[in-house]
Structure 1
Amino acid sequence: MPRCINRAGAALLPLLLVVAGCSAGPSQRPAVAYHDGEQQVAPAPQPPKPQPVPPLGAAANDSLNWQDCTDQTRSELGSLPAGMTFSCARLLSTLDAPEAPERGTARNSLIRTGSGKVPLVVVGDVGGEPGTTFAARLATQLPPEIRNTFAIVGMDRRGTGESEPADCVPPQQREQVIGFDPRAAERSQLDQLLESVLKASQECLLKLDERLQAYDTWRTASDLEELRLELGVPRLHAIGRGEAGRLLTTYAERYPTSVGRFVIDGAPDPTRDSMGQAEYQAQAAEQTFDAFAEDCTGRGCPLGPNPRQAVTDLVERTRTAPLPAPGTSVPAGRVIQAVLQGLGDRNGWPALADALAAGTRGDGTRLAELSAPLVSPQGVNPPWFDGDLITSCNDTTLRVPPQRSTEIAQDWVGRFPLFGGAAAQRVVWCGSWPVPQQPLPSPRRADLPPIPVITTAHDPRSLAVGTDHLADELPTGVAMRWQGAGHGAIARSTCVTDAVSRFLVQGVVPTEGMACPE
């Protein structure tokens, strides 16, 4: 093995040449081979090629113990289409906590509907309604050709719904964090939030112990792979809405040969860290609120000629005088959270306007109802906040010091008047949380099938340009755009839904960059 000798007094240039010649870094030169005494250059390795749209595969041959749960589902959704039935089951997978790798058991709640024989898994945001409820609701809105081709399967993600829910944050801390003043920007104010979050994280650590850090997207991807195996299918076909798009790209990085027909509907920007994503969410919510305000005034808005000013005044008033509501109160933070929930469903905008108008008259009942799932159990389902807190903090390595939190809050409250403070507070949530061992992988694989990525022009949770970045970053991503509003386009836009149906059922890839009108 050659050695490098650094002689005292050597000139700088020769020294640099010697160091460069003896460095241990990888060579950039092509490999050299010899054949019959002649030197030959070996061909450079070829990059992996994109895969074609995979076939649907054989009918499921699953080993899960499905039981009828139609009545329970009807009570959750309120009503069901005639003849539509549901069945439920439990999936057992490996917990794989950092302290006990490849050990322990995770139990995930599942739901299934549809007359088709090929499973189509539907997953949603970890901070939204439980996955089984989301999948059941979406199934009622999907076209018959999808329900007749597929058995639509929903799963409560780790720590949510009935999948061993976290439910570890004391009610007082949960209310304090969700209701916290969205315009707080001083260190002394934010220290109160930090104290509430610290108590919440301590209680979760005591209650969940080693399970705490096992509730994340990386390990949920392994739950999906276990689900595929239990369903008895060669590939997983799936729809992921919102933040669940990150779950599907993580799954694709870990299990590329198991990827079937994937569709991602309104996902966060993979090129930005958690703070950048929170900033984008604030910007997205502001833009969507403007669309809501324009729609409201066009209908004879109960908020008057300037809905933004009316809501701004309501938030300012409730900073010191929360609205009364049956069994609770609605401080400014919950007003903002209620608006965020309402903006996600374009069909519910008239009801959101009525709830806000009632708030301006001193009645917080409807705003309390909109934000209740975040802080209170809904039937068998626990509050959404706990699972969102745990998974989001386990998914990011970013920890922002208190002084930096103050600077962010001051900046975002000024730039995003309604939603900047709430977004900045999400960054604070993880300050005292254990740091995960590694960040989630970026979507980089080029050997995947085509994956449609749908952008919505006015999505309160995913800025359009951020979802476009995912389509760009994903080597096999196919960008689709809807000019409408709400969180997710599938089952809301006929144009998008028809294109998704052709892809899932027939394997027809949407045209790159196709745009659907509002």
Structure 2
Amino acid sequence: MATLVATVGFLSACTAGPSNRPEIVTNDGPAASTTRTVAPNEVPPLENADSGIPWRNCSGEMQAMLTAQKLPSWLAVKCGKINGVLDSPYAPDRGTTRIQLVRAGQGPVPIAVVNDVDGLPGTVYAARLAATLPQEFFKKFQLVGMDRRGTGNSTAANCVQPEVRRTMVELDPAAIDVDAWFRAAQSAGQQCSITLESQLPALDTWRTAADLDSLRSALGLDRLNAIGHGEGSRVVSMFADRFPDRVGRVVLDGVPDPTADAQLASEGVAKGGEAEWDAFAADCVQRGCPLGAEPERALLELLGQLRTTPIEGPVLDITAGSVLRAVLVGLSDRSTWPTLAGALAAARNGDGSGLVTMLTPYAVGSDVQAAALDGTLVTTCNDMRDRLSLDQVKSAATEWQQKFPLFGPTAAQRLAFCAPWTIPDHPLPTPTGRGAPPILVIGTASDAITPLEGSERAAQQLDSGVLVSWQGAGHGALGVSPCATDTATKFLTDATVPRNGTVCPP
């Protein structure tokens, strides 16, 4: 739910004449490849871009987003756009969707970057990821961040009315008021169906994988190198499944559980959230943070205080529900842990402004960026096969509240919010990437968004998956763990495939 920003060092600490119009790229599905055959255990050679994409200086609004956290002076950043095929089930293989891109770095070899649907837009995430990598890396590579369809500046889904969005964020999961969850979800679903019309069912991971193939074509490549971060790894692995002979060097930094059982996957997210909170609390105590010697007690006291007296605000109230959402946002980016601790401490004294700032991109949005909640809701529910009844959600929430007191009910809310949605017309298969070259999968021991157990299962399901696990905490390891980052960059640069099961220290 948030971005990855950290400083990285390199160690080997692992064990065992362009047009003014955007290019239009059509995609008619897998076709005969013109590339030379690459064996399943062979890493493909690198290709230089032969791009017709008109890269330009970014607009003022985009520039402000990109530089909200300072980028190094040597990192050149440009913006571009292409058009992909909307491919709505109402008009298969027809329509267009605009895809926003950012190029970070000027090396000749592109690496596409896809982020979580509910995190930073892929363009911004790519620039910030680039800032954590050494300058030397960009003599060979450029990162090409892509805003996923329905997010950022890729025709963002802006369909949920503000008051309904507020309700969905402010509801207290611990109350397990499943009726209220379902009412809010039904209102949101109806609004999105009316506003987006035929576009609605086209906002899913299946079709976003085809956008990656459109990007590959626009870059003039036979094979696409890619980095998927968190839930964005689902898009990249689906690309590998649909177009295995078009896959280059791929790194998946945290992969969602590939199971089709939404309830099992959501329980894993609750478990991962608890583990990452424990890591945050230990770090908080070690740093002498403003939550004191018992951060969890401080959080529970704040939640109790807000259940009696919420902090009212013009765009968002700070309630127990919105605090838990902000905690998940803050936990997912390790560099923001001090900010999260400060915001929680301030809220205990009646100042909720820090938490509102953390939640605004997700729950409120701005004049230049739609709230991420809408695109997250649409894509998540379009991807999810299961539709649970009110009784099933209530049972799961009650059980998980006992097992995972902080985040169990929050995970159950996700199931409720998709209950009114229609069944997806393209149910996501479990990606196997059969015929694809080696795919590097990195898992993080304490990850609230893509728990390690799910990433392990995803790596096992991929025919050519190679797992590296980092025994640290946070959402993703690239740019945070020197060992994992070094392993990934050697794989991308030198085609060095690590031993499956390699473990990086905390």
TM-score (norm 2): 0.89
The residue that corresponds to 1:315 in the other structure is 303
The residue that corresponds to 1:33 in the other structure is none
Q: Deviations over 1:244-297 (max 9, x none)?
A: 111111111110100000000011111352222111111101011011111112
The residue that corresponds to 2:341 in the other structure is 353
The residue that corresponds to 1:139 in the other structure is 130
User: Take 1:68 and 1:296, find their aligned partners in 2: how far apart are those partners?
Assistant: 40
Q: CA deviation at 1:50?
A: 2.0
TM-score (norm 1): 0.87
CA RMSD of aligned residues (A): 1.6
User: Take 2:320 and 2:261, find their aligned partners in 1: how far apart are those partners?
Assistant: 27
Q: CA deviation at 1:346?
A: 1.8
Alignment partner of 1:338 is 2:326 = yes
Asked which structure has the greater CA Rg, the reply is: 1
Alignment partner of 2:174: what SS?
A: coil
- Asked if structure 2 preserves the Cα contact closer than 8 Å seen for 1:376 and 1:383, the reply is yes
The residue that corresponds to 1:424 in the other structure is 412
The residue that corresponds to 1:172 in the other structure is 163
Give the residue type in structure 1 aligned to 2:103.
R
Give the residue type in structure 2 aligned to 1:81.
P
Q: Deviations over 1:124-157 (max 9, x none)?
A: 1011111111111111112223322112101110
Q: CA deviation at 1:325?
A: 4.8
Q: 1:465 to 1:378 in 2, by over 3 A?
A: same
The residue that corresponds to 1:224 in the other structure is 212
Give the residue type in structure 1 aligned to 2:294.
N
User: Take 1:199 and 1:272, find their aligned partners in 2: how far apart are those partners?
Assistant: 26
User: Take 1:251 and 1:328, find their aligned partners in 2: how far apart are those partners?
Assistant: 38
My pick for the range that moved more, 297-306 or 318-327, is 318-327
User: Take 1:480 and 1:423, find their aligned partners in 2: how far apart are those partners?
Assistant: 26
Q: CA deviation at 1:395?
A: 0.5
User: Take 1:328 and 1:52, find their aligned partners in 2: how far apart are those partners?
Assistant: 52
Give the residue type in structure 2 aligned to 1:340.
L
Alignment partner of 1:363: what SS?
A: coil
User: Take 1:290 and 1:393, find their aligned partners in 2: how far apart are those partners?
Assistant: 29
User: Take 1:117 and 1:72, find their aligned partners in 2: how far apart are those partners?
Assistant: 27
The residue that corresponds to 1:15 in the other structure is none
Give the residue type in structure 1 aligned to 2:164.
Q
The residue that corresponds to 2:196 in the other structure is 208
User: Take 1:158 and 1:70, find their aligned partners in 2: how far apart are those partners?
Assistant: 20
- Asked if structure 1 preserves the Cα contact closer than 8 Å seen for 2:103 and 2:144, the reply is yes
Using the aligned pairs only, state the percent identity.
44
Q: Deviations over 1:405-459 (max 9, x none)?
A: 1111111122111111111000001111111124212122442211110011111
- Asked if structure 2 preserves the Cα contact closer than 8 Å seen for 1:397 and 1:438, the reply is no
The residue that corresponds to 1:60 in the other structure is 49
Q: Deviations over 1:485-516 (max 9, x none)?
A: 11110011111111111110111112222211
- Asked if structure 2 preserves the Cα contact closer than 8 Å seen for 1:325 and 1:363, the reply is no
Q: Deviations over 1:3-47 (max 9, x none)?
A: xxxxxxxxxxxxxxxxxxxxxxxxxxxxxxxxxxxxxxxxxxxxx
Alignment partner of 1:102 is 2:93 = yes
Give the residue type in structure 2 aligned to 1:50.
P
Give the residue type in structure 2 aligned to 1:349.
W
The residue that corresponds to 1:31 in the other structure is none
Q: Which runs of 5+ in 1 are unaligned?
A: 1-47
The residue that corresponds to 2:7 in the other structure is none
Alignment partner of 2:175: what SS?
A: coil
The residue that corresponds to 1:27 in the other structure is none
Aligned length: 467
The residue that corresponds to 1:374 in the other structure is 362
The residue that corresponds to 1:253 in the other structure is 241
- Asked if structure 2 preserves the Cα contact closer than 8 Å seen for 1:60 and 1:232, the reply is yes
Alignment partner of 1:204: what SS?
A: helix
- Asked if structure 2 preserves the Cα contact closer than 8 Å seen for 1:73 and 1:86, the reply is no
Q: CA deviation at 1:324?
A: 3.9
